[in-house]
Amino acid sequence: MIFLIAWILESISIDSNPIDCLFQGVIAACGVSVLCSLMRVYYFTQMYSISETDPKETSGSSSTPLRANWRSSVHFWALTGLLSVVGPRLSSLIVLEFSLRAVSAWVSARLDAGDRDLGVLLIQSHFSLGCSITCSLYFLHQGAPHSSLSLFLATALSWVLATWCDSLCSHVARLYSLHSKERYCGKCITLLASGHTLLPFLMRLVILVFAVGIVASFATVYDHFLSHKEALKFWTPLTLCYTMLVVYNQEDQQRKMGVEALLHTVVLRLGALLVLMLTMGNWSDVIHVLLTFLGEGVCLLFSQDLLQYVLQDEEEPNMNKYLQSTSSRKRDNTSSTASKSS
């Protein structure tokens, strides 16, 4: 099985050792798995705290939408294969494109609304985060004499960290409601005291990973696409058009939210990236764009529980505001009719 994966990587990837690509894919998938597990821990603890303060808020919703199950293994190995195959050329473009979207969202002041925008942005960043990790590893280990050994040690450490986070997620899903009341479990007591800081911590950690990935991406893009002066004549207008498309998609996504809207955004921006690669790339870049379609779809598919809770958390206050506004209108109408009759 390992030799089959290595042969596939060697036939698709260029200028890379297939074993190193496999290690990079495992490390990146472990990073995405850590992010998913900790996000599930955060939202499960928030869901439990809301149900404790006001049981009516969660009476209609299920109490187990965020529990890890066998699909996490399928998600992990699918991401490992896709991130191992997608080369550093396209990974660098994905990282720069997501960074541009994040900056656009930040400039438009949409992230000040609270955990909802942070959560949606983190959910969208899963595959881009994996691309950032693989691109950074490719840049840092390029030309290293013992890169395979270094990547193997990093893979072992990443596997241990991902396993611990997955076990924490399973522990919280099964026993948090009991241990938070009895107060005899160190993990649950820590989450009960400081679990609300987990999401901002994940956001800072993701920003740090993308900061390293942006430096590696700029170096990779310059080496592979902009090494000739004539390339700037072609890339400058294409980059401007792609930037305008990203900003438009960001504004359109703020108006429409949900899995279908996110998939629509993925199709638009990756379709534009496919046209860009057909213009300036080679055949392997086109194949990698198609694999990126699949990778984004896999990440969104296995993050539906997170997205469902984030959007549900936003819809309930809006519904309450709507009900309050309608009730106030009815009171005003009744008072006006009573005054007229008198």
Q: What is the pLDDT of residues 32-66, one digit of tens each?
A: 999 999 999 998 888 877 766 655 544 444 444 45
Q: How far, in Å, CA of 59 to CA of 98, rounded?
A: 37
What integer pLDDT is reported at residue 2 of this predicted model?
52
What integer pLDDT is reported at residue 318 of this predicted model?
43
CA quadruple 203, 206, 208, 210: dihedral sign? negative
240 and 276 Cβ atoms separated by less than 8 Å: no
Residue 296's region, left for phi above 0, alpha for psi from -120 to 50, else beta, is: alpha
Going by C-alpha positions, the residue among 6, 156, 159, 141 that lies closest to residue 85 is 6
CA distances from 231 to 80, 90, 287, 322 (A): 33, 17, 22, 54
pTM for the whole structure = 0.81
Query: What are the residue ranges in the chain where pLDDT is below 50?
Result: 7, 11, 14, 57-65, 68, 315-330, 334, 338, 340, 342
N residues, the chain: 342
| Identity of the residue numbered 70 | W
Q: What is the pLDDT of residues 89-126, one digit of tens each?
A: 889 989 988 888 888 777 765 555 556 777 888 888 99
CA distances from 335 to 329, 338, 339 (A): 10, 5, 6
What integer pLDDT is reported at residue 189 of this predicted model?
86
Which helix (DSSP H) or strand (DSSP E) does residue 304 occupy? helix 304-341
